[in-house]
Amino acid sequence: MKKSRKINGLNKTLNQGPATFKHDQVSQALLDIQDTLERAMTPFVLLEGVAKQLYEEQPFELKEITIGIKEKDWTRYGSTTFKMLRPEAEFSNDSVYLSTSGVPVIIWIIHKNYKFFDHPDFKWFARTEFYIPNPFANYWKARFLIK
C-alpha cells in the first residue's frame, strides 16, 4: 500500500513500510547521502531526529533523515552535481527529497542565518564526522522555527 505525503509543495508517494527504520538501514543511508553531498562539495548539517540521536549517541531509529544546507552553500555547481548523481531527487525552492537505502531523506535549504549553524560541532560516526548544530541545546529549542 502506498501513501502520499506533501513536502513543501512536492507530492511524495512513499511505500508504507516500517514505522521507523533501524540503525543499520539509517547508517547506510546516512553514509550514502554524505558521499553524494561530499562529491557535490556541499557542506551540510544534520537536523532533527538524526542530529539528536547522534548527539546523544543513541542507536538510530528514525522515520527519515533530515539535513540542512545553508543557502549560500547550495551553489550552482553543487546543485548541478547533486542532480547528476541523484537524478531521482525532487527539488523545490526550499527542499530536496529523495530516498536512499529505502530511507526517506529531506534536505532543507536554510535561507536565514542562525548562530548554531555558524560553527557546527561534529560527532564521529562510522569512521567519519558529521556536523550538528552548535550549541545543540539552543538549536533543539528553536528547531521548528528554522527557515
**Is 0.85 topped by the overall pTM?**
no
Higher-scoring residue by pLDDT: 56, 145: 56
Residue 133, domain CATH: 3.30.460.40
pLDDT in tens, 78-90: 999 999 999 999 9
How many domains does one find in the chain? 1
CA dist 64 to 36, 87, 99, Å? Answer: 17, 19, 9
Q: What is the pLDDT of residue 134?
A: 92
Block residue for cell numbers 540542512: 68
CA dist 143 to 43, 49, 128, 133, Å? Answer: 19, 10, 25, 10
For the chain, how many residues are written? 147
pLDDT in tens, 54-98: 999 988 899 999 999 999 999 999 999 999 999 999 998 899 999
Residue 7: domain span: 2-145
Distance separating alpha carbons of residues 101 and 27, to the nearest angstrom: 9
